[in-house]
Chain A
């Protein structure tokens, strides 16, 4: 397998507070990897470092053989890394379709366009003219996911797709994953729902207080091993 994305001893800070203490991470092309961990473990910070929203040392992040740590977010999305941010963060004064079009600004070539997205999430086609934030939580998550896909990324990073959603809605969102990974897309999901994370991913990383506490094949761990890594009990 070819290595697509890797971090080496990645550290990150918010002012004086250190959030990540040397994360080693690897991602091969076509994989679906889940990152689990409790609140404040550094999962979101890790994704923000990868996408340029939190500063990182240049050589700590490598994407397709190039050091991309700390380069501007707009440049990173052009190179093929897209983030579905935590809490969705849709543009409230833009319609559903306008939000999706914002995602397509980079005009990277690829299979994803408005038509394909509306086929994947037909409800969005129906509500394309409505203000994005007038939709239900699950539908907003579809818009956020679609907006990231519109940039035709090589690696899709999803931060807590299930946040604040009912279980049935979460299943509906994850039902779209095979259609996304079927295109050969490499995906990283950050997920609080451990069962869901284990089920959909091939490998998992567990973070605890800014360090990797467990990593390996998703089906290789017992519940006890995971809760030990999760809570550090």
Chain B
């Protein structure tokens, strides 16, 4: 039983990383990035491709992907997504959905449909013994630690920095924020840039702990989306809590029957949507 709970929390750590970028982009500009999962997979393949091309150490290549992701996210928001924002959420949904299809097919073309992984040698299978009966993987523990650190860092950024203040201000009232001299388009671009760093972190860790293939994206999007909705839109600790609840439920489901895990997660998601559509922990940002 304890093992199920611990494994659930570790899985929750992974889902937190899937979801934080989504939570950030929605919180700042009410934009639902339906290509979130595909961008995660794209980042994993960027690292895989980078390692194959340069022959560099996986850890270094993975780190090099992060600033690239920052620049990519900034440019994507500045030159593509900013044009889709407005009272109507449909244009941004359609454009990111289109990007999702483009990315999947691009990856299929370049890397084929074979599952691949970022080879990190023994680290992927190393474990630590906790007590008598419990053995935990080192990599999942790293993922959980990164997830908690990323959540805390985002919360701190939002609550205590000038940039975070700008994020909250444009989210509250874009027109008045611009009246204060803020360039909302640049603020949005920075938010997406940071979201894409989180997406890249999620992608390389996903590529290290398991295999990735070009069609994985939509399922990751679903988990990210469920975590964000369960936790409450726009709150980072809420997103972490939502991801933990999703991870725990899936693990409990898997334990009852190997076919039930994902399904259990969906049931909890639907239950939250029906009983508490604003999420369990909404609006704690800032």
Contacts and interface: CB of A to CB of B under 8 A. Distances in A.
A50 to B, nearest CB: 11
A77 interface: yes
A202 interface: no
A92 B179 contact: no
A94 B180 contact: no
Interface stretch (A14-22, A101-109, A215-223): A101-109
A42 interface: no
Interface in B150-196: 162, 165-166, 168-169, 171-173, 175-183
Contacts of B168: 91, 93-94, 98
A93 B171 CA distance: 9
A83 B165 contact: no
B286 interface: yes
B182 A94 contact: no
Interface of A: 51-53, 72-74, 77-78, 83, 85, 89, 91-94, 98, 101-103, 105-106, 147, 151
A93 B234 CA distance: 12
A151 B182 CA distance: 12
Contacts of B286: 93-94
Interface residues of B, number: 19
A77 B178 CA distance: 9
22 contacts: A51-B179, A53-B179, A73-B175, A73-B179, A74-B178, A77-B181, A83-B179, A85-B176, A91-B168, A91-B169, A93-B285, A93-B286, A94-B165, A94-B172, A101-B162, A102-B180, A102-B182, A103-B180, A105-B182, A106-B180, A151-B180, A151-B181
Contact of A93 (B172, B181, B183): B172
B182 A85 contact: no
A105 B172 CA distance: 17
A143 B181 CA distance: 17
Contact of A89 (B173, B181, B285): B173
Contacts, number: 59
B165 A74 contact: no
Contacts of A91: 168-169, 172-173, 176-177
A23 to B, nearest CB: 21
A78 B182 CA distance: 10
Contact of A98 (B165, B175, B183): B165
Contact of B175 (A53, A92, A105): A53
B176 A89 contact: yes
Contacts of A151: 180-181
Contacts of A52: 179
A92 B182 contact: no
Contact of A102 (B165, B171, B285): B165
A74 B173 contact: no
A147 to B, nearest CB: 8
Contacts of B180: 74, 77, 102-103, 105-106, 147, 151
